[in-house]
Structure 1
Amino acid sequence: MEQLLALFPLNTVLFPGGVLPLHIFEARYRQMISRCIQLKQSFGVVLIREGEEVGGTAEPYNIGTTATIQNVLRWPDGRMLLSAQGERRFRIREIVQEDPYLVASIEMLDEESTPDAEDLARQVRELYTKHRDAIAHATGVTQPMEELSDDPIIMSYQLSDQFRIINYSKQQLLEADLDERLGAIIEAFDRELRFLPPPPQLPSKTSDGPWTLN
């Protein structure tokens, strides 16, 4: 059965589980969001490949994330503020409508864990802690550590969403399969750790007697 989804092309990448604040001011997207709210439907967030957010039709990448609408605030002039909660990845099969907004025939891209995912996730958790400690040592500021999910899939999306990288690189993480995504996260942490001074190591006890911190 064909599944149709209204699309919102943006200069950002939304991952499953991520939250995206949106200011809806163009008439076409006010119409789209109002229809989604009325029919209790999701819409699709897709990164723009070519074109602009405002104005004409933008060409999106083929893989995006469905989003549910939350916390809608309507202004008297018709504008809306809302939060979009990322749900599931999807692939565009065909654009079936371009005016007033894009609608596509899509297929969902569900993920399952793999035999290697648990080991890769363990490496990611270790590097995440090392990276946090190295940042704290370099800056003198300890940032609160986000609790990572025990599910490798969810964890991979959590960290992909956190990375401060260009949109094209985030899109590659969104499109990657689980093992590729975890591997890319490991490489990113390794790369950053090479440029950060390691935190000091506590001396170990020796047979000469107890150590001190002086």
Structure 2
Amino acid sequence: MSDLLPLFPLGTVLFPGMVLPLRIFEQRYRTMFARRVDDDPIFGVVLTLSGREVGDQPEVYSVGTAASLLKAVRYDDGCVDLAVRGGRRFRLLAGHWDEGYLTATIEWIEPGERSTLAGEQTRRLAEQVTQAFSAYLDALERTADLRIERAELTGDPVMVAFTICSLMPFDTAQRQRLLEAMSPVQLLEVLLATIRRDRDLLLATGIGGAALDHPGSRFSAN
């Protein structure tokens, strides 16, 4: 089943469950916000492939994430600060810029195989991923001489995986690759290998990952 959804091209990957702050200042996105403020999802977030976020019609990746509005703060100059949360993933089928912003026909990406065998494999992989993430944090504490407050990661294995994706300092290309995983098993296998690689890199060099300042830690402007 396909739907029509306005899209927000950014230099950031939005994962399901991840909260992302945004600042809207371009007129075209103010218009989009005004038209969609009461809709859920309010828009979709897609990673820019080429071109600029501001004042351009950039090419975008074909897999993105629907965003639900959590909070909006409007200013006298017309700018708006938003907080959105990632929801369902989608695949872009066709798009146009007739409204000044990108509007696309999209299809929703289903969670993937839910058989008993696949479920058991997913749970085992999820346990390995959480253990690897904990080991990565242990290594980070030792190499950086700091203490990290940790939250318990429980619940749906896929959402746990996406939560860890949003917390790890992966570069943007790796984040997009994880977002595009077409099954829970594929997502968890790629995530597990990447966390273990970054832990080894951290212990060997004191540097974990290619981007220590992940996108969720700062505002992303349109």
TM-score (norm 2): 0.83
Higher relative contact order (CA 8 A, sep 6+): 2
1:191 alignment partner AA? R
Structure 2: which 5+ residue stretches go unaligned?
Answer: 205-222
Decide whether the 8 Å contact of 1:25 with 1:78 is kept in 2.
Answer: yes
Decide whether the 8 Å contact of 1:133 with 1:142 is kept in 2.
Answer: no
Decide whether the 8 Å contact of 1:90 with 1:109 is kept in 2.
Answer: yes
1:142 alignment partner AA? R
Partner of 1:74: 74
Is structure 2 residue 135 aligned with structure 1 residue 135? no
Greater CA deviation, 71-80 or 128-137? 128-137
- The 5-angstrom pairing of residues 37-186 of structure 1 reads 37-39=37-39, 41-112=41-112, 113=114, 114-115=118-119, 116-176=121-181, 177-186=183-192
Secondary structure in 2 matching 1:194: helix
Instruction: Tell me: CA distance 1:40–1:16, structure 2 relative to 1, closer, same or farther (3 Å).
Output: closer
Deviation of 1:138 after TM superposition, in Å, equals 2.4
2:92 alignment partner AA? I
Greater CA deviation, 133-142 or 87-96? 133-142
Deviation of 1:165 after TM superposition, in Å, equals 2.0
Secondary structure in 1 matching 2:37: helix
Structure 1: which 5+ residue stretches go unaligned?
Answer: 199-214
1:141 alignment partner AA? L
Secondary structure in 2 matching 1:3: strand
- Tell me how far apart the structure 2 counterparts of residues 133 and 166 of structure 1 sit (CA, whole Å): 21
Q: What percentage of residue pairs aligned between the two structures are identical? A: 36
- Tell me how far apart the structure 2 counterparts of residues 167 and 123 of structure 1 sit (CA, whole Å): 23
Return the index of the structure with the highest Cα Rg. 1
Decide whether the 8 Å contact of 1:21 with 1:81 is kept in 2.
Answer: yes
How many residues are treated as equivalent by the alignment?
198
- Tell me how far apart the structure 1 counterparts of residues 193 and 40 of structure 2 sit (CA, whole Å): 40
Q: String of CA shifts for 1:47-78, please: whole Å, max 9, x gaps.
A: 00111000021111110000011211101111
Partner of 1:209: none
- Tell me how far apart the structure 1 counterparts of residues 179 and 143 of structure 2 sit (CA, whole Å): 30
- Tell me how far apart the structure 2 counterparts of residues 125 and 51 of structure 1 sit (CA, whole Å): 36
Decide whether the 8 Å contact of 1:66 with 1:88 is kept in 2.
Answer: yes
Instruction: Tell me: CA distance 1:157–1:76, structure 2 relative to 1, closer, same or farther (3 Å).
Output: same
2:132 alignment partner AA? L
- Tell me how far apart the structure 2 counterparts of residues 142 and 178 of structure 1 sit (CA, whole Å): 31
Instruction: Tell me: CA distance 1:130–1:175, structure 2 relative to 1, closer, same or farther (3 Å).
Output: same
Could you say what the CA RMSD is over the residues aligned between the two structures, in angstroms? 1.8
- Tell me how far apart the structure 2 counterparts of residues 196 and 80 of structure 1 sit (CA, whole Å): 38
